[in-house]
């Protein structure tokens, strides 16, 4: 177990492994969160998280719960690595002569980390949401017929690459990405960037200082680190708290990034228009849709990430890698 300062490559490995393990464990809950957030009053396909997962398995099979997981598993490594490493970088440069950071400086470090990660988070979420929500739209358009074949519906923006009439299979992330790049350029992949920043920057501002203070409470003494289970609990509690706090921004982001709409669903021109229409037609409670699911997703994800740091997994891998062994 390493208690020495962690190198940047080790931070990247720790964040990447934590992201992959966490996503694999909680992705079905994240899928339920997306589908619940996109439901409108009077057009509800799913009553709850459990109902959503049960209906997904029945209509799309077990692997239907992991629709869009490949996108996350591919991009979560750089995303989590950037987030955790950037926070450490900003904390280091904001500290004064090695002394502890003030709460304000901790929040500034978290803000910097959130701003850095959206470069990866936005396109990752954009592609993931199209795949996650396809089953809900198909079920809503054809009530009682939740066929695993018709998981992609026609969309005015992406008509050629994943129109149901043209393709018998659901679109892949690569098909969606190619069509977005062809029709809208790079900005197509960054649709909802403003809402993503609104979600991820406050999340990091809340999460990192809260984790640091919770983790400090578990120290047996000033010169000893807290036990690994305390690091997990601190990461989980801080993550779930921050997730619920920014859930309204996550709802807005999900709605803006959902390109395919079922009949009667609103379209939005931007963040302000989305907030206004949700308030008018669904009320303030709509901004809490999927909050429980999001807390259940984020808690283990960040708990695992902090355990990876505590155990020094990245350092161990680097020390025992073929290149390291050859150099010795």
CATH code for the domain in which residue 231 is found: 1.50.40.10
Give the integer Cα–Cα distance in Å for 94 and 89. 9
Q: What is the mean pLDDT of the chain?
A: 82
**pLDDT tier at 163, thresholds 50, 70, 90:** very low
Give domain status of residue 326, yes or no: no
pLDDT of residue 97: 67
Is residue 325 in some structural domain?
Answer: no
Token pair for 52: 């959503």
In a domain, 30, yes or no: yes
Scanning the chain, the segments in alpha helix (DSSP H) are 8-38, 49-60, 69-94, 103-141, 173-184, 186-189, 193-217, 228-245, 247-257, 271-282, 291-311, 313-319, 322-327
Q: Is the pLDDT of residue 151 over 50?
A: no
The alpha carbon dihedral of 142, 50, 129, 17 has a sign of negative
Q: Is residue 323 in a domain? A: no
Q: How many angstroms separate the CA atoms of 132 and 315, rounded? A: 35
192 part of a folded domain? yes
Distances (CA, A) of 144 to 28, 81, 140: 22, 42, 9
Q: Binning pLDDT at 50, 70 and 90, where does residue 256 land?
A: very high
Answer whether 153's CB lies under 8 Å from 133's CB.
no
**Any idea which residue has 């009530």 for tokens?**
143
Asked if the structure places residue 107 within a domain, the reply is yes
Residue 16: which domain range?
8-318
């Amino acid at each position: 177990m390493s208690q020495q300062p962690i190198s940047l490559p080790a931070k990247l490995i720790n964040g990447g492994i934590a992201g992959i393990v966490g996503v694999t464990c909680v992705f079905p809950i994240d899928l339920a969160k997306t589908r619940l957030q996109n439901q409108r009053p009077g057009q509800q396909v799913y009553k709850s998280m459990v109902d959503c997962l049960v209906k997904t398995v029945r209509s799309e099979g077990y692997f239907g719960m992991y629709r869009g997981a490949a996108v996350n598993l591919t991009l979560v490594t750089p995303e989590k690595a950037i987030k955790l490493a950037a926070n450490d970088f900003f904390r280091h440069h904001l500290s004064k002569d090695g002394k502890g950071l003030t709460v304000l400086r901790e929040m500034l470090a978290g803000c910097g980390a959130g701003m850095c990660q959206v470069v990866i988070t936005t396109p990752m979420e954009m592609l993931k949401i199209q795949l996650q929500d396809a089953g809900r739209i198909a079920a809503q358009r054809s009530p009682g017929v939740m066929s695993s074949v018709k998981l992609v519906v026609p969309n005015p923006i992406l008509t050629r690459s994943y129109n149901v009439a043209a393709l018998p299979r659901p679109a892949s992330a690569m098909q969606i990405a190619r069509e977005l790049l062809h029709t809208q350029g790079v900005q197509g992949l960054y649709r909802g960037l403003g809402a993503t920043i609104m979600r991820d920057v406050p999340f990091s501002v809340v999460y990192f200082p809260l984790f640091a203070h919770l983790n400090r409470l578990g120290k047996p003494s000033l010169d000893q680190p807290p036990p690994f289970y305390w690091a997990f609990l601190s990461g989980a509690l801080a993550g779930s708290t921050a997730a619920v706090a920014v859930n309204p921004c996550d709802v807005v982001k999900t709605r803006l990034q959902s390109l395919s709409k079922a009949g009667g669903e609103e379209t939005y021109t931007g963040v302000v228009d989305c907030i206004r229409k949700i308030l008018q037609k669904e009320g303030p409670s709509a901004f809490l849709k999927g909050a429980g699911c999001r807390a259940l997703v984020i808690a283990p994800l960040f708990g695992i990430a902090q355990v990876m740091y505590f155990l020094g997994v990245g350092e161990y891998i680097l020390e025992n890698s073929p290149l390291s062994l050859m150099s010795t």
